[in-house]
Structure 1
Amino acid sequence: DEKKISKARIGTQLNYCYPKLNNAFWTIKEFRGFWPNIRSGKSSMIIRLRQANQGYNLLDSPHKIIWSYANPQRFFFTSVPVIWARNQICAIGSKNKKELLYLFAILNSKVINVILNSHLKSEQEKDLLVSTTAVKEFVRVPRISDHTQFIKDEIIKRTEEMLKLEEKTLSDFVDFSGILLQKFKDIKVEKNFLVAIDGGKKTKLKITGDPAFVEKALLREFKESELPLQARSIRLSALRKLPVIDFQRQAKLKEYIDNLVFALYFKVSLENIGFQKG
């Protein structure tokens, strides 16, 4: 029952995270709340499995591909322990991270997008419903030979690189060691400095990475705020965790990966590959 989701972690045991799917990312960056790992007893928060579920195998898988059952725009990869209610979200789990990264690249390819839409979308159906069963039925992973293994290896390598770009946060680009303020009203970039503003007080923090990435991340986070400056309260703890992602490089990697997947499906001969060549 998702109405019982806790806003904070419960107890000292493992807590699963309830994911919030955001199509701006390929990984899970936001969570609706937490659910404790209770599998027996009389607690109202016991994890009850659906009849079609194969035990706790999926729940216990360290790595998962998850997606929205209705109208998914993409498939997400996560190594965070996640849980969800009923069939709102579908998933495939595995202990083998590399193989799951390969499947993730396949599922998000333009080839598979066309296949799923052609089989599952019709004029009579307004929604595209993508179940785990549908994925298993219509997605055929390309067979790999000794001659194509290097392409698969490159897909896995570049997919992992694409996802790692989403691990970067503002703390990787800004030196926060000199700031005492825990809250402030506004934030901006001035040359190679991040400037935290609280009333008439300004604190300059050295940007150790690319100032352009930092500025773009701040614009994405705060440009749509309808609150006047005097009503804002920006927490330092949240600012440190703010994603700072090179979306341009990520998009180029995604296009390159799609081209490699296309080559596997249509048996395009490739002698030399590499991201710069791609």
Structure 2
Amino acid sequence: MKPLLDVENVSYTYHALSGETKALDRLSFQVHFNEFVGIIGPSGCGKSTILSLIFGLIPPESGEIKIHEALLKDHTMPIGYMLQKDHLLEWRTVYENIMLGLEINHQMTPVRIKAVQQMLKDYGLDQFKDARPSQLSGGMRQRAALIRTLALNPGLLLLDEPFSALDYQTRLNVSEEIYTILRKKHKSAILVTHDISEAISFCDRIIVLTHRPGTVREILPIHLTLEKKTPLKARTAKEFQNYFNQLWGDLNESSD
């Protein structure tokens, strides 16, 4: 079967009056259906640039990004994007924030509205739908941001360090929640993170990038001996520490 997403020999250079900065160099990788892929690498190696290219915010300088035709056909918005900050608008209620994407895309249909209302119940936000974002905890705000993203029924989620603004305990709990939600909905995801443990516990494969200009140094499949993987359970697997040590070594070599 063709991959959900195919990034082929993509390069990108930032241009400024002070000069040029090559961010990515002939980058290639794939994402398959129902797969979670992690991207890690040294600071400044182009991780967030990759997500911007996939989402279409910037065009590649060279190379090609192909999205499976089923994703374009069956989904209102084929790709969803969750950033480090939730970007909830304080002058709108939680419900109004969640509905913003549907409003902008003129998708306020009874089916979509019913789906959002069900997600509010399923993810514990139904009683807070009339609250303002400032009244929510950090974890609840991220859940609201996720519902806003899922409301448009994307097939692929781009997660740009979505847990980094949370304290450690909340970060683990929210990671567990979002992982479970996306698995149940049979979504695919790309997670950009600086946290090696987070990448191992969340992802099926991890792409390790070199120092800028970023290209693929290694793609590491993650196989943990667990009956049912979740981010919290993954950290107890006997293989976890070996994966951590390998990726730690790869990152240190990539930074040289």
Q: How high is the TM-score relative to the length of structure 1?
A: 0.23
Q: As a proportion of its length, which structure holds more strand? A: 2
Q: How high is the TM-score relative to the length of structure 2?
A: 0.24
Q: As a proportion of its length, which structure holds more helix? A: 2
Max radius of gyration: which structure?
Answer: 1
